[in-house]
Structure 1
Amino acid sequence: MVEEPADNPYVRDPDTSFAPVDDLDAATAREQVRRLREAIEYHDYRYYVANDPVIADRTYDALFDRLAELEAAFDLDDERSPTRRVGGEPLDGLETVEHVVPLLSLQSSGDAAEIREFDRRIREAVGDVTYSAEPKFDGFSIEVVYEDGVFERAVTRGDGEEGEDVSANVRTVGSVPLHLRDAPEFLAVRGEVYMPRSGFQALNERRIERGEDPFANPRNAAAGTVRLLDPSTVADRPLDVFFYDVIETSATLSSQREAFDLLRELGFRVNDETTLVEDVEAVLDYRDRLMAARDDLEYEIDGVVAKVDDFEARERLGSTARHPRWAFAYKFPARTGETTVERIVVQVGRTGKLTPVALLDPVDLQGVTISRATLHNAAQVRDLGVHEGAAVRIERAGDVIPEVVEVVDDDAGEAFEMPGTCPVCDGPVVEEGEHHYCTNASCPAQLRRSLQHFCSRDAMDVEGIGEAAADRLVEAGLVESLADLYALDVADLAALDGWGERSAENLLAELERSKTVDLGTFVYALGIRHVGTERARALAAAFSLDELLDASVDDLLAVEDVGPEVAEAVVSYFDAEANVETVERLLDAGVDPERRDRGDELDGLTVVFTGSVPGYTRSELSELLETHGANVTSSVSGETDFLVVGENPGRRKRERADEEGVETLDPTDFEERILSRL
């Protein structure tokens, strides 16, 4: 538990009748700021972690406002200041960061026999063990790193090897310490960001009142919020965190229990339901107890986790490539209920995917009223035999998303069939495997997402059109296809809510600048399914734009890394008359996709990056080097020529480079030895 600061006048019954700022000298202001920060950090701990505040909310607000006032008046801003919790300027994007160590997933099952088998293997390998039994949170996993007790960065789990840097957003969460007292020199911890049930309901009520779509569930709300590009918006949303693992530290720990003790001592929020149990039968009892109590909890859980407590035993057990052998997630069964399918409608997603949705006679499922459920695709509808009027059993898959799992009473109604044209725009629909897609990129159901993608940094790089701006342009009827962007004028834009002449002029200047673009970037910007930045560059290297428009499946299959699914998607895209018209209108508007020849200055060179290189995104560097003949890969091997080590690098790639004898370059060396050759 965090100790109360000694001799700090802002901890107990603070006097908030402050002297005017103009009466303070710089030294007095700095000292008051130091004490205010110390006190506010303690009050944050008491409120968010200990759930036992010692001052009233209005007193806290007065202390916080005074701190912000002094920081502004005396230019005393600091990244560690509690005032950073209110957010900051919008971000350009989320950089990719390598994890300190890989964040592995867990073995999981809802079958008691499987966790008993897990226990048998454990005892055969290392003998009797004690388990740490913990709730399995249904939220969003993050890694948080501290150096010398100072919050350094927060990273999403991503693919387990790398994640997105969400430091600016996680910094706004009150239960995340920004400064640790008496902390180890290095500490990396893992936590679960979640949205409390009460906060989730209140947030959805506000969204509905503003005419916005409500979030589907707390997990999606938490995950979407953490990855926003506006920290100020994140600060206004009710996020919280439970910390449950010490990933790596310079301190000495021998067990999970000691790790939890350290987390609590340093002021991290640890769940009170964590406990030690002696055997697997006690884990089963623990799971049954939490399953019975979960509806009364303020946070979502979808099972429990059993971890071998002793770290030495964990070392002996080791890990597979995907999961540790010393931990197991024992999942809760999905919640179920029975009701009747009133109608089946087809929903068009932002990528053009058509998804059948069952509209249900509302049924209460563990306190939640369910009125619609996904049917995933036509094949599932056919296999289940679902049709209008059928009695069905539904489950909340993953404990959240409703889906139809069984027909329990079939009255032989008319079989469901997917539409031959898009139900939103009447555009052509193509079938790809089990899925159906609308191929019209100007379909209103897809347009918002397509517009945002087209203007994104790795695409046309039009600053000023994010999610909110894309929504406004479509809702106002100013953009009905991507080509309409280049027909916008100042008067139309300035008339939109929140816009003015200056912002309108800035956007038009951005659009004008974007007209000169390389062909690979332009192809990626079109948003063709399965065509990411690397495949777009490969297509641009193999075809001119005219050739690509007329390419057959066989032509496309001749390009490296283009398989049947990608080839079919490209052909389907350019077979749609509306898409070809959009491309022609973009060209008529002055967009000039240049086919850049691949240079040979770096021919044969293989480069890997870890950490960020100032002034570039990872995508920009990859494109730059590959345009000049280099091969940029994601992992270090004996074939790698250089590992570029930027800011906030991961450890694993550096260790691999040492093992393979691969030369490492810092950003300065990279500039001098590689970029200078271009």
Structure 2
Amino acid sequence: MDILNTLQSLRNELNQHNYNYYVLDKPTISDFEFDTKLKQLQDLEMKHPEFFDENSPTVRVGGAVTKNFETIQHEYRMYSLDNSYSKDDLLDWEKRCQKILGDVSLEFTCELKYDGASISILYENGSLKRAVTRGDGFQGDDVTNNIKTIKSVPIRLKGDYPDKFEIRGEIILPFAGFEKMNQDLIEIGETPYSNPRNTASGSLKLQNSAEVAKRPLDCLLYTLVGNNLPISSQFQGLQKAREWGFKVPNESKLVKSIEEVFEFINYWDIHRHDLPYETDGVVVKVNQVQYQEELGYTSKSPRWAMAYKFKAEQVVTTLNSISYQVGRTGAITPVANLEPVQLAGTIVKRASLHNADQIEKLDIRIGDTVFVEKGGEIIPKIIGVNLDERRPDSQPTQYITHCPECNTELIRIEGEANHYCPNFYGCPPQIIGRIQHYISRKAMDIDGLGGETVTLLYNAGLVSNYADLYELKKEQVIPLERMAEKSAENLINGIEKSKKIPFESVLYALGIRYVGETVAKKLAKHYKNIDAIASATIMDLILVDEIGDKIAQSVIQFFENNSNVEIIDRLKRYGVQFEINEANSTTVSDVLKGSIFVVSGVFETYSRDDLKKAIENNGGKVGSSISSKTNYVIAGSNMGPAKLDKANQLKIPILDEYEFNKMIDA
């Protein structure tokens, strides 16, 4: 028992020193003393494996190897933020909030927008249980072993933390650490990393956690997520997270008005360059949790938050040439090939020119001196030309008339900005692009098969459409470049497993123009199988919820094409799912069919998300705001006054959760 006490005492002491150094930035012992105590703990743990503790500070040195990062479904979706680039946008956002909430006094929490890799970390009973990347917002990769090596991430919490919750933030690489890593690479003759954000993101997917531990990564946290959390505001959540041991930046500020928001933005637009890490804007959040719940979410973003992006950094360089890319739909994208230039932490060599209209509008010509910035700090774009430096022999740019890949004459549909190559079944980039879309994570999610391998398969003559994938043999795949027996086996197994992917994902995978994830789900749910969709008339389709003329016409055109019908027939024979699996359906009944519900307030027997699921599982639809189309409002405590007034004005029935239960029990 003495050994266990010694181990526990050492662990507690080292955890406290980690917190002092990496969170508070106030070390109380030297690095040498810390390393000596850590070595003592490692030796004791080696001698006494019976006292293993997954929360020991020794896990931070890494050593675990992850060959494949497991995909984990987020319990709470990770939304993206709406962006604004002007203060007028923020004023409009405040008005939208007030319109929904009514005449209430709003507070705002202002936080810096950190440029890193998003992470969600689950804690249970005060211990770090799992860390998952943002992924597509619905699911991400389990990178727990790698996150545990980051010293500012607490493995054990302190204080009055909830039994279970998630905390979200950004994994970043401070400038000093990034520069040190690059200097080390340069000294051994290796290519330096391009920018801190991409390096931080790439670090999370290293297979050996010991390598991650060598990188000076940091974690800045900013949002608590869970049920019945002991907070009533965003700012209180930040304070609580600090008390529990998390590294929450002190730059965040609680303000009482939109004018104070602007003061915060103005200050940090100047002083952001003094920070030790990258930031590209300010995130403004409605502070009160009650009002956040009332405002809710769009399909992509919370209505109660807005990201204000600082003005993008701008540079001047030379346009050397213009090339043209062909997408999977045949759309042509002109690309500017630039004299390499440093921009916002990266070397920029290429920029999008969007379309022929944009080239004509800016009068962009080869050899021009151009102004380049990063749109939203992500995609470089040309925003103007320095006409004073234009060469006398400069000639206007003539947009191409034929496809650069198959030489088919391009077409331009009236009302659209892009030119298209109509050679849908004979143009290599379109064929490859459709297959790459088919295998992608949100579609068929085929393990062992990536975009580069699809190109190799096509160039080798092994596939010319996505149905051909199901006829591949391991012996055909092994000779391909960078392909060994095991990887070929994984590829074939991944294709076989894709036969179990549900119908709504298969429908999205087919690549019907304008049929994204959400539309595919609606069509699958409405029609139940592919044959019903294929035989639907344009009027039938338009009557489906949220399906407009453009989508309906595209669906009709897809199924009028004999090649598409033949491919679907082949996929059916191979066993791909082309109907809803009722056994896996969450539908309980259709008792609420045709009714639209708006949920408002706090409930005793449901979380708001569970209540919305109950509505949908019984055939109803959840509305985001009250209108003349709303059939019922389900009201809990603290219902927003504006919603209550509007429901009464429109004479919409207001139910409590118990009345709702009686409705679905009936």
**Which TM-score band applies after superposition, normalised by the shorter structure?**
0.5 to 0.7
Structure 1 residue 566: Cα displacement: 4.7
Taking structure 1 as reference, are residues 274 and 456 closer, same or farther at Cα in structure 2, changes over 3 Å only?
closer
Structure 1 residue 358: Cα displacement: 1.4
Taking structure 1 as reference, are residues 458 and 259 closer, same or farther at Cα in structure 2, changes over 3 Å only?
closer
Alignment match of 1:493 (pick from 475, 478, 502): 478
Structure 1 residue 268: Cα displacement: 0.9
Corresponding position of 1:403: 381
Corresponding position of 2:265: 287
Distance 2:450 2:108 in 1: 47
1:459 aligns with 2:444: yes
Residues 653-672 of structure 1: CA deviation (Å, up to 9, x unaligned): 9x99877429999xxxxxxx
Corresponding position of 2:59: 83
Distance 1:421 1:659 in 2: 62
Alignment match of 1:48 (pick from 22, 25, 30): 22
Residues 93, 229 of structure 1: 8 Å contact kept: no
- Listed as ranges, the matches of 1:326-475 within 5 Å are 329-348=307-326, 354-362=332-340, 370-409=348-387, 413-418=395-400, 420-423=402-405, 433-435=416-418, 439=424, 443=428, 447=432, 450=435, 454=439, 459=444, 461=446, 463-465=447-449, 470=453
Residues 68-121 of structure 1: CA deviation (Å, up to 9, x unaligned): 7468x5494637776276555345652333428x86846744237955995999
Residues 159-194 of structure 1: CA deviation (Å, up to 9, x unaligned): 88x554746365554422222022322444342333
1:564 aligns with 2:569: no
Corresponding position of 2:126: 149
Residues 553, 571 of structure 1: 8 Å contact kept: no
Residues 166-175 or 181-190, more deviating: 166-175
SS in 1 for 2:171: strand
Residues 500, 577 of structure 2: 8 Å contact kept: no
Distance 1:150 1:97 in 2: 18
Distance 2:581 2:478 in 1: 44
SS in 1 for 2:354: coil
SS in 2 for 1:289: helix
Taking structure 1 as reference, are residues 513 and 137 closer, same or farther at Cα in structure 2, changes over 3 Å only?
closer
Taking structure 1 as reference, are residues 205 and 509 closer, same or farther at Cα in structure 2, changes over 3 Å only?
farther
Distance 1:271 1:515 in 2: 43
Corresponding position of 1:10: none
Residues 504-549 of structure 1: CA deviation (Å, up to 9, x unaligned): 68448737956978996877666666567857979994459xx98x
Q: One-letter code of the match for 1:510?
A: N
Structure 1 residue 270: Cα displacement: 1.8
Residues 120-178 of structure 1: CA deviation (Å, up to 9, x unaligned): 998x9566x88654322234444444332123455666888x55474636555442222
SS in 2 for 1:661: helix
Residues 320-329 or 393-402, more deviating: 320-329
Corresponding position of 2:86: 110
Residues 87, 231 of structure 1: 8 Å contact kept: yes
Q: One-letter code of the match for 2:22?
A: Y
Structure 1 residue 450: Cα displacement: 4.0
Q: One-letter code of the match for 1:414?
A: P
Residues 119, 169 of structure 2: 8 Å contact kept: yes
Corresponding position of 1:661: 661
Corresponding position of 2:628: none
- Listed as ranges, the matches of 1:149-548 within 5 Å are 149-154=126-131, 164=140, 166=142, 168=144, 170-171=147-148, 173-186=150-163, 187-197=165-175, 218-219=196-197, 232=209, 239-247=217-225, 252-253=230-231, 258-275=236-253, 283-306=261-284, 311=288, 315=291, 319=295, 321-322=297-298, 329-348=307-326, 354-362=332-340, 370-409=348-387, 413-418=395-400, 420-423=402-405, 433-435=416-418, 439=424, 443=428, 447=432, 450=435, 454=439, 459=444, 461=446, 463-465=447-449, 470=453, 483=468, 493=478, 499=484, 503=486, 506-507=489-490, 510=493, 534=520, 541-543=529-531
Q: One-letter code of the match for 1:459?
A: M
Taking structure 1 as reference, are residues 259 and 526 closer, same or farther at Cα in structure 2, changes over 3 Å only?
closer
Taking structure 1 as reference, are residues 659 and 295 closer, same or farther at Cα in structure 2, changes over 3 Å only?
farther
Residues 109, 255 of structure 2: 8 Å contact kept: yes
Structure 1 residue 377: Cα displacement: 3.3
Taking structure 1 as reference, are residues 118 and 514 closer, same or farther at Cα in structure 2, changes over 3 Å only?
closer
Q: How many residue pairs end up in the alignment? A: 581
Residues 11-44 of structure 1: CA deviation (Å, up to 9, x unaligned): xxxxxxxxxxxxxxxx677556545544553444
Unmatched 5+ stretches in structure 1: 1-26, 609-632, 644-652, 666-678
Taking structure 1 as reference, are residues 570 and 177 closer, same or farther at Cα in structure 2, changes over 3 Å only?
farther
Distance 1:402 1:70 in 2: 55
Distance 1:434 1:143 in 2: 39
Taking structure 1 as reference, are residues 183 and 104 closer, same or farther at Cα in structure 2, changes over 3 Å only?
farther
Residues 282-315 of structure 1: CA deviation (Å, up to 9, x unaligned): 6544433322233343322222345576x59x75
Taking structure 1 as reference, are residues 149 and 465 closer, same or farther at Cα in structure 2, changes over 3 Å only?
same
Alignment match of 2:587 (pick from 606, 616, 619): 606
Residues 421, 428 of structure 1: 8 Å contact kept: yes
Distance 2:263 2:498 in 1: 64
Taking structure 1 as reference, are residues 488 and 32 closer, same or farther at Cα in structure 2, changes over 3 Å only?
farther
Distance 1:567 1:296 in 2: 57
Corresponding position of 2:574: 593
Distance 1:367 1:471 in 2: 32
SS in 1 for 2:574: strand
Corresponding position of 2:617: 640
Q: Percent identity?
A: 28
Residues 540, 595 of structure 1: 8 Å contact kept: no
Distance 2:26 2:346 in 1: 31
SS in 2 for 1:563: helix
Unmatched 5+ stretches in structure 2: 590-609, 621-633, 637-655
Taking structure 1 as reference, are residues 401 and 155 closer, same or farther at Cα in structure 2, changes over 3 Å only?
same
Residues 251-260 or 179-188, more deviating: 251-260
- Supply the RMSD in Å over aligned alpha carbons: 6.1
Structure 1 residue 264: Cα displacement: 2.2
Q: One-letter code of the match for 1:636?
A: K
Taking structure 1 as reference, are residues 171 and 121 closer, same or farther at Cα in structure 2, changes over 3 Å only?
same
Distance 1:405 1:361 in 2: 16
Residues 293-302 or 519-528, more deviating: 519-528
Distance 1:374 1:357 in 2: 5
Q: TM-score, normalised by structure 1?
A: 0.63
Q: One-letter code of the match for 1:243?
A: L
Distance 2:269 2:659 in 1: 47
Distance 1:602 1:317 in 2: 33
Structure 1 residue 48: Cα displacement: 3.3
Corresponding position of 2:639: none
Distance 2:491 2:83 in 1: 52
